[in-house]
Amino acid sequence: MVMRVLIAEDNSELATVLSRILGAEGHVVDIATNGTDADALLAAEFFDLVLLDLGLPLMDGLDVLRRLRARSSDTIVLVLTARAELADRVKGLDLGADDYIAKPFEVEELEARIRALLRRRASATGSVIRIGELVFDVATRAVQVADQNIELPKRELDLLEALILRAGRVTPKSELAEAISSMEDAISEGALELYVSRLRKKFEPAGLHIRSLRGLGYMLEAV
Ligand code: CA
């Protein structure tokens, strides 16, 4: 999963190292070197994850966090702190940080923490379905293959979603046509077959197979 990550850290050497590491994993990374910039970026754009230093100039990290949560953002917050004191940790977690890591830390530990947070997030929302190389976010309907976002026309996305939610079982054409029809636009079984062939063309290379069972319907499976 490619993430948008904000590194809010005034130690520019550390910020650069972290940015390189996360960038090398394919993530899109921004750096803010003070609390005001971090706050402005978080208010203006969506980030999946923020690595938040508590001791930031201009605006304290705890204030950045407080303001972020006040906007009911569900950005994952991993606090980076040299303040190993229990009070600050507790305060950070109370304010809605997902985890913290005390500086100095090993890169491996940071990566492990990030992976654990992502796993926790995915299982908490239950919103991501993986089939072969395809990743589908039920909440946002975002489609990714091998970490690349795939943009689909509406009908194809509707059909893909309908197939994904029924993956591994045979679904009659009539049911699928119904699922992607709207009030204004009824989809015939002929049109459905057309959308199926378009999806096959796009997703067969990713190891996703839409099996056709004569007289029964379609079934999505990983090959
Ligand atoms: Ca600092």
Which residues, at least 6 apart from 109, have a Cβ–Cβ distance to it below 8 Å? Answer: 101
**What pLDDT does residue 125 have?**
58
Ligand 1: distance of its center to the CA of 94 in Å? 20
d(CA 100, CA 117): 11
Ligand 1: distance of its center to the CA of 65 in Å? 15
Q: What is the pLDDT along the chain (223 residues), one digit of tens a residue?
A: 567 899 999 999 999 999 998 888 777 899 999 999 999 999 998 888 999 999 999 999 999 999 999 988 788 999 998 766 667 777 777 888 988 888 888 888 898 888 888 777 666 555 677 888 889 887 788 999 988 999 999 899 989 988 887 777 788 898 888 878 876 788 888 999 999 999 999 999 888 899 998 888 999 988 8
Phi, psi of 98 (to 5 degrees): -85, -30
3-class SS string, 143-202: EEECCEEECCCHHHHHHHHHHHCCCCCCECHHHHHHHHCCCCCCCCHHHHHHHHHHHHHH
Ligand 1: distance of its center to the CA of 90 in Å? 18
Alpha helices in the chain (DSSP H): 12-24, 35-44, 61-70, 86-94, 107-125, 154-164, 173-180, 189-203
For the record, the structure tokens of 184 come out as 């204004």
Any idea what DSSP says for residue 206?
G
**What pLDDT does residue 51 have?**
96
pTM: 0.57
**DSSP three-state, residue 73:** coil
Domain boundaries, the chain: 4-124, 128-222
Adjacent-strand bridge partners of 50: 6, 77
Ligand 1: distance of its center to the CA of 27 in Å? 23
**What pLDDT does residue 193 have?**
94
d(CA 163, CA 217): 11
> Are 38 and 59 a contacting pair, CB within 8 Å?
yes
Look at the block and give the residue holding tokens 């190891």: 207
Superfamily holding 4-124: Response regulator (3.40.50.2300)
Is residue 93 classed exposed, middle or buried when 0-12, 13-18 and 19+ CB atoms within 10 A define those classes? middle
Any idea what DSSP says for residue 58?
S
**What pLDDT does residue 36 have?**
98
Ligand 1: distance of its center to the CA of 73 in Å? 23
Ligand 1: distance of its center to the CA of 12 in Å? 9
> Are 141 and 151 a contacting pair, CB within 8 Å?
no
For the record, the structure tokens of 124 come out as 């908490």
Cβ count within 10 A of residue 204? 12
Ligand 1: distance of its center to the CA of 35 in Å? 10
Which numeric CATH code is attached to 128-222? 1.10.10.10
